[in-house]
Every structure is written in C-alpha cells, then in structure tokens.
Amino acid sequence: MNNPRILFWYRKDLRINDNNALKKAFSLSNAITATYILDQNYSYDFNAKSRAWFLGNSLEELSKNWKNLGSRLIIDEGDPLILIPKLAKLIDAKFVVWNKAIEPYEINRDLEIKDNLKKSNIEFIELWDHLLIEPSQIFTGDNKPYSVYGPFYKNLKSKINFVNVKKNFNNIGDLKDLEIGIKEKKKIDTSRLILDRFHKNINFAGFELCPCKPGELAAEKLLDQFICQDKIGSYESSRDFPSQNGTSFLSASLRFGTISIRKVWDATLFSDLININKHNRISIETWQKELAWREFYQHCLFNFPELEKGPYRKKWDLFPWQNNHEWFTRWSNGQTGIPIIDAAMRQLNSSGWMHNRCRMIVASFLVKDLICNWQMGEEKFMKVLVDGDLAANNGGWQWSASSGMDPKPLRIFNPYTQTKKFDPICKYIKFWIPELSKVSNADILNGEISDLEKNNYSGALVNHNIQQRLFKDLYAQI
C-alpha cells in the first residue's frame, strides 16, 4: 500500500469511532496524524466555561486514544487559515482530511483554507459526518430546502430508515508507527503545554451537576444507559418532567461529536426492533423526532445562513422590544420571583445545562412576558450552555419567539400552568430554590407565596396576564 501522509483535522467530531472523514483517511493510508486547533476566531467552542470543560476533557481522552493507536493528536491554538497549511507542510502531508461544517463562519473559513492548501499543492478531502443526511439529499417537492419541520421529518425518516440500519460502526484499524522529525516532535511537546494551559484556565464549578459528560467513552455510556436501561421506552411519558431525568443528556456529545449521530439513530432502530410494547414504540419515535429537530435546525442554518443574524420572519425586525436591562438581569440570574423560571435559570447557571421543557418556558417568559428581544436570551444561553450550538440554540429561540420556522403564529407559555403540568409536586423547583423548600406546593403552584413564607425569595417581577396582553397589543402593531 502506498502510504501517503495524511493530516486529519478534528473540529466537531471529537471521536475515533464511526467518523466518516477519518474512515476515508484510513482507506487511503495508515500514516495519519490528527490535529485540533483552538480557533481564535471561533470562540463558540470554548467561550462558555462549561463548553471549555467539555472540550478540554474530550481532547484529553482523544489525545490518549491517538497515542494508544500509535500516532498523535497535535493541539495548537490560533488561526487555522495559517496553522493548517503550515502543519500539513511540516509533516509533509499529501492530504488534509476533515468533516464538513454547517455554520456560516466555518463554511467561509473552510473555503479560504481550501484556497491556501491549493496554493501549497496539498490536496484536501471533506465529507459530511455531523448530519443524518446530506443537505443535497433532502428537498421539498418543489426542490427547495425545507422550512417546516413536519414534512422535513417525514421525508427524513423515509430516507434514513433503510440507509443506515445496517451500518457498521467498527473501530478503525491500526496506525503506522512513523518516524518523525525534530520539528514535528516539538509540535507534539507544545501540544501538551497548550492542553495543560487550556485545562488550567478552565474554571467550571458545575461539572458535578452537569448531566452531560465529555469524551467518547462517556457518550457511549450515556447512549447505553438511555437505550439499554430502556429510558427510551418511557421517554414519551417522562421527557417533559424536569425532575425525572427522563432524557438522554447526549446534547453536548452530539454538539462536539464525541458520538456519531448515525450510531445514535441506529440505536433507536435497534430498540424499535426489539420492543413489542406499543407505548414503548411511540416513545422511541418521539425520541427520533427530537433527533430530527436537531437535524432540521442544522439544515435550516446551512440553507438559510441569515438566521444567525436575525429573525426568519422579517416583520419581527419591527417589533418594539422593551429590553429592560434590570428585568433581563433578574431573569438571567434566576431572581424573577416566578419559581419555575428561577429554578430553570439556576439550573443553567449552576450546571451548564437546562431541561428542554424549561428552556421553552424561560424563553417564552423572556420574550413574551419581559418583552426582551429573543437575541438577548440566545446570547445568554450561548454564554452558559454546555451544549450551546448555534443551529439548535437559534432554532429554539426563534421557535419560542415565534420569529422562526414554525407555522404557529403566537405561542405563549403561562409559567404557572406549565408548573402545574410539569412540576406538580414542585420537586424541581425546591431542588434549585432551597429558599422555597418549606413552602406548600399549593402556594408555589398558585403563585401565592406569602411574605412570611418567602424566606428572602422575591415577589413576582411581573404579572403574566398583564404582560401577555401588552405583548399581544405590541404584536398587533407589526
């Protein structure tokens, strides 16, 4: 076998197993060196403490795995436009190989890198990996990209059910033990220093409370727990209750690619095959639908990159937001005096993660009760979420604000009704707001916590009914 040297560039695919571009690299050669660049222009990967923690620990594990394979993961920091071609030259690579990205910045960066590589006569290969289906393979009947989830899901499901079910997720083979020059050796030593420094600066106190776990091994374990302990079978009935741990906690693993989306989807098909109980099968499909929401938002951002900057429905540009900064700060810190909102925001601030039902409730509250521009909430989430992802976060916020790809015109959540439905015994609220631990559930549910019971907990910042009317009046103006 002709063994050309290959530089494999990791981005949001921090794993060895079932990695499309890595498999491709292996099919060409087993003289592969991997690299990860802490991209100075793309802070989304590590500008939240929780994500820096997730990234740093995932890289640590990945680095060990490459060592065990007999090769190395070179970690560098700076501008990939310069560093990737430079490293490719240093190791005398014939190819640079990576998985494609969907965010506008990443796409433009990759275009420029391709140019730089061409100038240096280095070949590149890029493949899709982060998605269940390539954007070029799914269109509406009119040959347009989808902007409505329902029909997207139907089409997606019909396409991938038979494409991936028999896929093989085996490990890749052994790597060639390479003789390396002094300069390359130096790069390997610097990698260690960079990773150590990165770790040192991570200051994420919430790692024990965070339900997402970094690394490929932990992601496999989370999937296993979800599928094999049959959490997936009761997902339909437990997923909306934030005190029940009824979801998979795989969001950060999928965000950083420590697990492959194909493997996750395949696990649902396997689960479906062995489950004879009708209720369980409905649950499995419900979970597939959530995975499909992730897919949908990724495709949306890829096809409509303008979503990053503003609303999908342009009339929202005209909405007279009030953007009261004191209110925003109280929302942000979990001090609105509305228990479900504060519990959720405190979960976010303490653990880097928030339950999906609560994400919807706090987002609706910020936009439709506090009348703050949804982009303020989007930014806050990106500063804290361990799974903070441009496509999913933007999609979630635009859905909640009614400015996005959701045919329903105005969706407003009443935080008290939501609490009665989804935290009826106030277990979640009392866990995150210890001041309320002795207050009766009835008083919390009705929003009637007496001054005597308050125990330093503040009164409600706003009246939901009044704010909702005001919001509707303002909406009528646009």
Ligand X SMILES: Cc1cc2nc3c(=O)[nH]c(=O)nc-3n(C[C@H](O)[C@H](O)[C@H](O)COP(=O)(O)OP(=O)(O)OC[C@H]3O[C@@H](n4cnc5c(N)ncnc54)[C@H](O)[C@@H]3O)c2cc1C
Active-site residues, by number, are 290, 293, 321, 356, 374, 397
Exposed e or buried b per residue across 170-209, where buried means at least 16 C-beta atoms within 10 angstroms of its C-beta: eebeebeebebeeebeebbeebeebbeebeeebebebbee
For the chain, how big is the Rg over CA atoms in Å?
24
352 belongs to the binding site for ligand X (CB under 6 A): no
Instruction: Please report whether residue 381 would count as binding ligand X according to CB under 6 A.
Output: yes
For ligand X, give the closer residue by CB, 383 or 454.
383
In terms of C-beta density within 10 A (0-12 exposed, 13-18 middle, 19 or more buried), how is residue 158 classed? exposed
Q: How far apart are CA 298 and CA 391, in angstroms?
A: 5
* 284 is an interface residue for ligand X by CB under 6 A: no
Site for ligand X contains 401 (CB under 6 A): no
Our finding on whether 239 is near ligand X (CB under 6 A) is: yes
285 touching ligand X, by CB under 6 A = no
- Contact between 388 and ligand X by CB under 6 A: the answer reads yes
234 binds ligand X (CB under 6 A): no
The token pair that represents 441 in the structure block: 């559930």
Contact between 353 and 238 (Cβ < 8 Å): no
Q: What are phi and psi of 450, to 5 degrees?
A: -75, 160
Of 297 and 319, CB closest to ligand X? 297
392 lies in the binding site for ligand X (CB under 6 A): yes
Q: What x-and-dash track marks residues 150-179 binding ligand X by CB under 6 A?
A: ------------------------------
Q: Minimal distance in Å, beta carbon 291 to ligand X? A: 5
Closest chain position to ligand X (CB): 396
- Alpha helices of 209-351 — where are they, by DSSP H? 216-228, 235-238, 251-256, 261-274, 278-303, 325-333, 339-351
Residue selected from 74, 195, 363, 444 as contacting ligand X according to rule CB under 6 A: 363
Using the rule CB under 6 A, give the single segment among 14-22, 242-250, 270-278, 304-312 that binds ligand X: 242-250
* Contacts of range 315-322, beta carbons closer than 8 Å, 24 or more positions apart: 315/478, 316/401, 316/402, 316/403, 316/478, 318/477, 318/478, 319/373, 319/474, 319/475, 319/478, 320/474, 320/477, 321/371, 321/372, 321/373, 322/370, 322/371, 322/372
Q: How far is CA 402 from the centre of its chain?
A: 21
Distance, CA of 420 to CA of 446 (rounded, Å): 9
- Nearer of residues 128 and 457 to ligand X, judged by Cβ: 128
Contacts of 446-454 spanning 24+ positions with Cβ under 8 A: 446/416, 447/338, 447/416
Among 184, 220, 290, 443, binds ligand X (CB under 6 A): 290
Burial of residue 143 (CB within 10 Å: 0-12, 13-18, 19+) is exposed
Question: Smallest gap, in angstroms, from Cβ of residue 286 to ligand X?
Answer: 9
Q: How many residues bind ligand X (CB under 6 A)?
A: 28
User: Residue 57 or residue 253: which is nearer to ligand X going by CB?
Assistant: 253
**Shortest Å, Cβ 255 to ligand X:** 5
34 vs 160 by CB, closer to ligand X: 160
Closest contact distance (angstroms) between CB of 404 and ligand X is 10
Q: Which lies closer to ligand X via its Cβ, residue 380 or residue 430?
A: 380
Quick one: which of 299, 207, 219 has its CA closest to 256? Answer: 219
Record the tokens describing residue 410, joined without a space.
């105005």
Residue 255 binds to ligand X (criterion: CB under 6 A)? yes
Q: Which stretch binds ligand X (CB under 6 A): 15-23, 103-111, 193-201, 383-391?
A: 383-391
Output the CA–CA distances (angstroms, integers) from residue 455 to 337, 341, 451, in the order listed.
12, 18, 8
One of 48, 291, 307, 366 touching ligand X (CB under 6 A):
291
Q: Which of residues 292-311 bind ligand X (CB under 6 A)?
A: 293-294, 297
Candidates 164, 356, 441, 458: give the one binding ligand X (CB under 6 A).
356
The region of 93-101, 171-179, 291-299, 467-475 touching ligand X under the rule CB under 6 A is: 291-299
Binding site for ligand X (CB under 6 A): 239, 247-251, 254-255, 290-291, 293-294, 297, 356, 359-360, 363, 381, 385, 387-389, 392-393, 395-397, 400
